Structure 1
């Protein structure tokens, strides 16, 4: 699995699946979550409502992942994961790593070949960008080193600024 980091808008990524840094309600929000919901169109909210009704009535737990179609996005799939919120005392790096691991488990079930990740838990969830980069790149390397990678050829971190992308690139 090739791991890269680029500056860009994840809603425009030409990959099979993008990862949404969702909140546990799956009903949209700010930042990456809001941008993905806006770009995917209103059908995404309907799909998330159905996931809540049928699979996660109490909300998606931190570190787990679930998929919906991408609707109006270039990506066929959106994989939603809830990052740990440092403001709520969720400061264990393993919770953040689990977001990547769980998202890739879902991606393998969907048989995607390429996937794009944002900087999960950075920003509103209070994690330092360098720590997010270290944890997520480390988790991606663990996945890439697995003997059987099940078809995921590319994991791309798509980050909204050059400085953030550089932090990821330096670790890759």
Structure 2
């Protein structure tokens, strides 16, 4: 079974086979972690995103696509679209679960052994951080229990609040 690591910092500096981008459906870059990954990775990431958009028209909420890592330390960027949190009654939990699960499946299909996740949907998409952390940890733990390709998942928290929430959840193992 794979391991889970928790770090606080900048996901664009993480050395892993792949990092996950909390993208928007257009895949054209945006604010928050999405903008930071596109800036740090350079134009190659956007070029790959444009090819994906030309082929399939963006990325739906809960789905994931893979591109080069460009200038990042990671070989790949897996772009996933988390849900915008509204009332919690519009399938947001299931969509967030799908975003993590589809990213992990895509990682395994591409022989990714180490993958780093940001806190998907907890920024401008306003998903409650405690609920989002619980969904992320459970989805990753369940996946690692039944998969032998992905060896390490790194949760990269940008802020203190998310870091504390993940620390608590991972201590309960």
TM-score range (shorter-chain normalised) is: over 0.9
Task: Give the secondary-structure state (helix, strand or coil) at the position aligned to 1:80.
Answer: strand
CA RMSD across the alignment: 1.3
What's the counterpart of residue 66 of structure 1?
Answer: 65
What residue number does 1:156 align with?
154
Deviates more, 1:136-145 or 1:17-26: 136-145
Runs of 4+ residues over 3 Å off in structure 1:
87-91
1:48 match: 49
Q: How far apart in 2 are the matches of 1:90 and 1:60?
A: 19
Task: Kindly state the Cα deviation for residue 150 of structure 1 after the two structures are TM-superposed.
Answer: 2.8
For the residues of structure 1 that align with 2:128 and 2:91, how far apart are their CA atoms? 11
Q: Which runs of 5+ in 2 are unaligned?
A: none
Question: 1:125-168 CA deviation, whole Å, 9 max, x = no partner?
Answer: 0111111101111111111222xx13211001001123311211
The 3 A distance-change label for structure 1 pair 145 and 73 is same
Deviation at 1:95, TM superposition (A): 0.8
Deviation at 1:90, TM superposition (A): 4.5
Residues 59-118 of structure 1, C-alpha deviation per residue, up to 9 Å, x if partnerless?
A: 211111110000100000000000011149745311101111100111011101100000
Q: Does 1:141 align with 2:141?
A: yes
The answer to whether the aligner puts 1:99 opposite 2:99 as a matched pair is yes
| Aligned CA distance change for structure 1 residues 91 and 127 (closer, same or farther; 3 Å) | farther
Length, aligned pairs only:
168
Distance 2:30 2:91 in 1: 21
Aligned equivalents of 2:36, 2:86: Cα separation in 1? 22
Aligned mates of 1:42, 1:64 — CA distance in 2: 23
Matched-pair contact (CA < 8 Å) for 2:84–2:92: no
Q: Report the TM-score when normalising by structure 1.
A: 0.93
Q: Any idea what SS the aligned residue of 1:125 has?
A: coil
Normalising by the residue count of structure 2, what TM-score does the alignment of the two structures yield? Answer: 0.93
The residue matched to 1:123 in structure 2 has which SS? coil
Are 2:157 and 2:163, in contact at CA under 8 Å, matched by a contact in 1? yes
Matched residue of 2:7: which SS?
strand
